[in-house]
Structure 1
Amino acid sequence: MYLTRFRVNTARVTARKVLSSPQVLHAAVMSSFATVPVQEDDGPRVLWRIDRNSKAETYLYIVSPIKPDLTHLVEQAGWPTTGGWQTYDYEPFLSRLTKGDEWAFRLTANPVHSARRNDTEPTKVTAHVGLQHQLRWLLQRQETAGFRVVEKPAERQVIPGTDVHELVIRERRQLTFRKKGHSKPVTLVTVTFGGKLEVTDPDALRRTLTRGLGRAKAYGCGLMTLAAA
């Protein structure tokens, strides 16, 4: 597995066009591979995420089983003469994950649930739009994903008993775009979480980091990354 980071030159018109649609960016990411990796639900896959740290600092992160070549993205959305990208072998980091380790994390996800208005209707996948529902969506998945979101000391809880976890929502976006060959637009709600976690099941967490968490993985959701806490 490989972890790749590419800084986007947001001052360029072509870069803003690439960033404007998850469909366009998905195509650009998949074009990074001479042989497109097989996308299997039960195996490692290509995951990507856009991090907007500031107006002038936007990064594309990619996790993939094959090393990518981002030359085309540098030409369209980077600095062709001075910029580039960094690709790292992800396996040594993944193999060192140990139960009890604590890490800062970031995850962009598509929090959804199945709902229906009455008993006669079939269930429909619907986005969570409320802040508390979106936070709960992640907390409900932490055990099977191999981690536990760390709890705050009582003295750091703004409202004791409710503001319990080291977990924040950094960004919420609603994206509307068209898939190739479809006339009806697609609407996607994305949420970027940040926080601190403890590893509870290293194997499960490795699966989360390489297979993604939740839906809409082709459109920039599901990729969790860790950093020193």
Structure 2
Amino acid sequence: MGHHPVNTTTATSPAPSAPGDAARFVATQSLLTLDVRHPFAAKSLIDAQDMHRTVMSGFPGWVDDGSRDARSQMGVLSTWTVDLRQARLNLVVQSSVPADWSAVPRGAVAQAPEILTVDRTFRTGDRVDFRTVVNPVRAIPPPPGSPPKTRGTRVPHTRPEHVKRWFSQRLQPSGEPPVAPNGVVRVGADADTERLALRMLPRVSSPAPHKGLRIARAEIKGTFTVTDPKTFVAALTQGIGHARAYSCGLLLVR
């Protein structure tokens, strides 16, 4: 599947479904191809905070400067791959508002940005191929005797079998609710976990002033069967898991 955004072809669907068994997904997706030999792209590759700034640079003026939740207000999610042999950084950015990439230095752009509108209706039983890069973490509760409201720590999963279990908890078999009994938000679709292709990716980090920022990443590919279209569209729109500001959690489907 590579790094390409979703296409807008209709998924194979079963017999006509009852009203409410369908939900519509609308977003815009940009495909940026940058030259990693250019300092602008090179810095984004080295520094996760810089990559976040590159992604957000496409959306000037939509929200007030300094707004804390600017990314989620504009529905911005992203994912990237790098081809070191070709010296190309392939960045996919999804948003609920139009993007403007004129702030990216011309010398850093290897190909003109491709921008497309995705408008797609999903129905119960539709099968779609997917790819996602996730930040698989588990929460460790604070030690006994900690002050009230002490936050637990997030520990990354580093073994593929643990990442697969993390992802499986977010699947939603037919008839199951959108939120699992343990509070995990599900994706509105099921998948055969034995057929998932899973690959651990290099961690990304940021130097000062974000010295503690180290993000574990894993790529997961497979085939979804939609079980709850409304929840599925919410997962496509909002992403899954943590570190969504750092190019994790975007579900690309085709």
- Using the size of structure 2 for normalisation, the TM-score is 0.72
CA change 1:36–1:109 in 2 (3 A) is farther
Matches of 2:56 and 2:200 in 1, distance apart? 25
Query: Which residue in the other structure is 1:155 paired with?
Result: none
Amino acid at match of 1:45: G
Q: Say whether the 8 Å CA contact 1:146–1:205 is kept in structure 2.
A: yes
- Determine which structure has the larger helix proportion and give its number: 1
Deviation at 1:9, TM superposition (A): 2.2
Give, in whole Å, the separation in 2 of the partners of 1:208 and 1:31.
24
Q: Is 1:100 aligned with 2:130?
A: no
**1:115 and 1:15 mapped to 2: Cα distance?**
35
How many Å separate the matches in 1 of 2:253 and 2:216?
23
User: Quick check: 1:109–1:191 contact (8 Å CA) kept in 2?
Assistant: yes
- What is the one-letter code of the residue matched to 1:48? S
Q: Which runs of 4+ in 1 moved over 4 A?
A: 40-44, 116-122
Measure how far apart 1:42 and its partner are: 8.1
For the aligned residues, what is the CA RMSD?
Answer: 2.5
CA distance in structure 2 between the partners assigned to 1:54 and 1:17 by the alignment:
14
- Aligned residue for 1:73, secondary structure, equals coil
Change (3 A) 1:195 1:74: farther
- Quote the residue 2:59 is aligned against: 33
Mapping 1:11-30, distance limit 5 Å: 11-30=37-56
Matches within 5 A, 1:49-88: 49-52=79-82, 55-56=85-86, 58-73=89-104, 75-79=106-110, 83-88=111-116
Identity of aligned residues (%): 23
Q: Pick from 48, 55, 69: which aligns with 2:78?
A: 48
Paired with 1:202 and 1:195, the residues of 2 have a C-alpha distance of: 18
Q: How far, CA to CA, are the matches of 1:137 and 1:99 in structure 2?
A: 24
User: Which residue number in structure 2 is paired with residue 187 of structure 1?
Assistant: 214
Deviation, 1:69, is 1.2
Matches of 1:60 and 1:183 in 2, distance apart? 22
Deviation at 1:25, TM superposition (A): 1.3
Corresponding residue SS for 1:192: strand
Post-superposition shift, 1:34? 2.3
CA shift digits 1:164-213 (9 cap, x unpaired): 5221113422122136xx36331110111111111111111111111110
1:226 equivalent in alignment to 2:226: no
The number of residue pairs the alignment matches comes to: 206
Cα pair distance change 1:89/1:71, threshold 3 Å: same
Q: Report which stretch shifted further, 16-25 or 208-217.
A: 16-25
Deviations for 1:24-80, whole angstroms, at most 9, x for unmatched residues? 01111111112245747987621011024674254111110111111233625223x
Task: Give me the whole-angstrom Cα distance separating, in 2, the residues matched to 1:175 and 1:42.
Answer: 21
User: Could you tell me how far 1:113 is from its partner in structure 2?
Assistant: 0.7
Aligned residue for 2:170?
141
Do the aligned partners of residues 19 and 36 (structure 1) sit closer, same or farther apart at CA in structure 2, a change above 3 Å counting?
farther
Q: Distance in 2 between matches of 1:138 and 1:146?
A: 13
Contact kept? 2:34, 2:89, Cα under 8 Å: yes
Q: 2:137 aligns to what? A: 112
Offset, 1:20: 1.5
- Cα gap change, 1:74/1:165 in structure 2, threshold over 3 Å: closer, same or farther? farther
User: Is residue 44–residue 211 contact of structure 1 (8 Å, CA) maintained in 2?
Assistant: no
Residue 13 of structure 1: CA displacement?
A: 4.2
The residue identity in structure 1 corresponding to 2:31 is: R
SS at match of 2:123: coil
> What is the TM-score of this pair, normalised by structure 1?
0.79
CA distance in 1, matches of 2:253, 2:160: 23
Counterpart residue number, 2:196: 167
1:199 is matched with 226
